Structure 1
């Protein structure tokens, strides 16, 4: 069983990728936090672009915390060029305020003293939870993805990229890394700028004992969360013969594994599904997707079957 479903605590809803007027967003930090809080989110990480053209901002959102809403200090960080010549984008949640910004003056990639690989490693060493941002939107190559050795997750659904560019996901990049044995998780985010319908569409549900930045970061790093556009995952139990999935009402439960290994069940208002695992005998991992009647999805993190 994925331990976090039975672990003490509760699920907290949060967005890990958001922007404000400190970089290229339309709303002030306080207003961004207010909107997420009033929308029912438990936490937010405001991740403005850590670029010279904006003065390398690391947003201090601590004044906007309330007894029921907290914030994780973070930024979208940039250094070096991808294979296609575009600037690297990484999301770092949990950065300390004394984090030394990379030499990245603008959104245009330039030769710099630091590579994206070095920047990711430095952010992780500083305590951050690091994700590879919007692979499809960025035009990320597989060689690019493989080069980031220390990331915790791949951003596999980005609501802003879905609505603003029709390039929403990073599942192919994630799957290729999983095939290599890389134990990465996946996150859904908004990447909200509030300049188009790019908000309140993708989030993480983090299991923690309290809605505290450190506790949330610990749970993120432990993989104790799932990602969603709406449906709830309520339990996943893996036995030798099957995976049992409990959720809010959905019409499809899909189990994915190595290569083309997939098994699905379909029905009306399903809240429990038992999917045989015989097809996954040679797969080192599985992950679960549930889809509701409106087409909205929730995704588990990869479950490694040798654990």
Structure 2
């Protein structure tokens, strides 16, 4: 089997998975339930401003159940020393003192003195030994694989793969993603544990990945719908669609043109800054996923992610998420908070949608041409039903290519990023699409 073929196997087997099945209790114990986590953040190992153990401790102390630290183009292995006077990443004395106060006087190992003073960064295994706690908090090894294809940024996260991977560029954006996805797939093929991948912040820094790219990249099943850091361009602009709109365009094209399952939506905080909390900082805690897994363990969390049994959120937590396949009914219920109002929308594309599209005249940026953008019919990603309240159900007619639910609240996020998501929301994965991938003669 080719590397891409193996990737299709390991990323997800959603056609026969439980998906968003029977509701489970929201628990933090060792059994099947909902687990809160983040799959994209950084530490001093790359361009973050915090020791990895302190970054992990932040999530643990704020109610997260799992964390995948995903520093750039490396895994946290081997000996790494960091100069505390580094021009781009200085480590102030209070940062060192805070770590020692939390983990003991010997927690930070140093060498040299004066301008040559360095601190040793703990490896993933060392961090896991410090912060992991059975039935409470688990660490998952990960890496952000990133680089440029010409002018365009290409970023993806690999989770639970075997060895660090160097970024590889190819002829265009799609092929650059593919060659790196293939490298992950080659490692996954020789492992007995599940490995996951998601594509990162497609509209950062300036719409470098298009909806058509997301549709064509059928090898990847998940992407960051909400990278809750400043500059992610989630809402688009006069010439570019929002990421919610891109998701619907990509899903429609994947199902109809590529005969491929729709994309799964991820929310992350892409945290880099732990010392100062402000709208213009990439702080922890803004975006996360809730994964329904058999137990709180790295393999179980990764397997559930690959099965699509999770939802994305910036603060809304669901009490129930259930798709009754027999009755083709999607039900969503919020863990409602006092004084907060909720709106639940069911969004999808009808099978008889208008497929026409027209090019958008995108002006150059800094004198350079930009990626092509197309405007599609309003049939794509239509609001099929809207309910004002904390729970709602939608019965599919059988004429939708897919249906997804989004919950929006009127409660402001505790620390919203500048120019991005400001209120607490949750996004559920698409349902009801399987029959459109079957040969016409076998469709129910």
Q: Once the 2 structures are TM-superposed, how far is the Cα of residue 265 of structure 1 from its aligned partner?
A: 2.8
Q: Aligned equivalents of 1:119 and 1:137: distance in 2?
A: 19
Question: In the alignment, what sits opposite 1:212?
Answer: 297
Q: Aligned equivalents of 2:404 and 2:147: distance in 1?
A: 31
Q: Once the 2 structures are TM-superposed, how far is the Cα of residue 115 of structure 1 from its aligned partner?
A: 3.2
Q: Is the partner of 2:180 in helix, strand or coil?
A: helix
Q: Once the 2 structures are TM-superposed, how far is the Cα of residue 27 of structure 1 from its aligned partner?
A: 0.4
Question: In the alignment, what sits opposite 1:131?
Answer: 198
Question: In the alignment, what sits opposite 1:49?
Answer: 72
5+ residue gaps in structure 1?
A: none
CA deviation map 1:225-258 (0-9, x unaligned): 1111111221234465754322222521100111
Q: Is the partner of 2:301 in helix, strand or coil?
A: helix
- The reply to whether residue 118 of structure 1 matches residue 179 of structure 2 is yes
Question: In the alignment, what sits opposite 1:298?
Answer: 426
- The reply to whether residue 2 of structure 1 matches residue 2 of structure 2 is no
Q: Aligned equivalents of 1:210 and 1:122: distance in 2?
A: 29
Q: Contact 1:154–1:174 at 8 Å: present in 2 too? A: no
- The reply to whether residue 165 of structure 1 matches residue 231 of structure 2 is yes
CA deviation map 1:59-97 (0-9, x unaligned): 544323222211110011025517xx223111111122x
5+ residue gaps in structure 2?
A: 1-18, 26-30, 81-122, 189-194, 236-242, 275-280, 350-379, 412-422, 436-444
Question: In the alignment, what sits opposite 1:254?
Answer: 345
Question: In the alignment, what sits opposite 2:157?
Answer: 91
TM-score (norm 1): 0.83
Q: Once the 2 structures are TM-superposed, how far is the Cα of residue 197 of structure 1 from its aligned partner?
A: 5.0
Residues 278-293 of structure 1 correspond to what in structure 2 (within 5 A)? 278=397, 281-293=398-410
Q: Once the 2 structures are TM-superposed, how far is the Cα of residue 293 of structure 1 from its aligned partner?
A: 2.7
**1:245/1:110 CA distance change after superposition, 3 Å:** closer
Bigger RCO of structures 1 and 2 (CA < 8 A, at least 6 apart): 2
CA deviation map 1:99-156 (0-9, x unaligned): 4x2256xxxx7989x9321111221343331111001114112343345331120110
Residues 74-89 of structure 1 correspond to what in structure 2 (within 5 A)? 74-81=142-149, 85-89=151-155
Moved more, 4-13 or 120-129: 4-13
CA deviation map 1:21-60 (0-9, x unaligned): 00000101011001000011000000000069xx9x9854
- The reply to whether residue 236 of structure 1 matches residue 305 of structure 2 is no
**1:137/1:243 CA distance change after superposition, 3 Å:** same
- The reply to whether residue 264 of structure 1 matches residue 378 of structure 2 is no
Q: Contact 2:43–2:49 at 8 Å: present in 1 too? A: yes
Q: Contact 1:79–1:119 at 8 Å: present in 2 too? A: no
Q: Once the 2 structures are TM-superposed, how far is the Cα of residue 171 of structure 1 from its aligned partner?
A: 2.7
TM-score (norm 2): 0.59
Q: Aligned equivalents of 1:218 and 1:130: distance in 2?
A: 11
Report which of the two structures shows the higher radius of gyration computed on alpha carbons. Answer: 2
- Of 184, 187, 206 in structure 1, the residue corresponding to residue 266 of structure 2 is 187
Q: Is the partner of 2:283 in helix, strand or coil?
A: coil
**1:129/1:202 CA distance change after superposition, 3 Å:** same
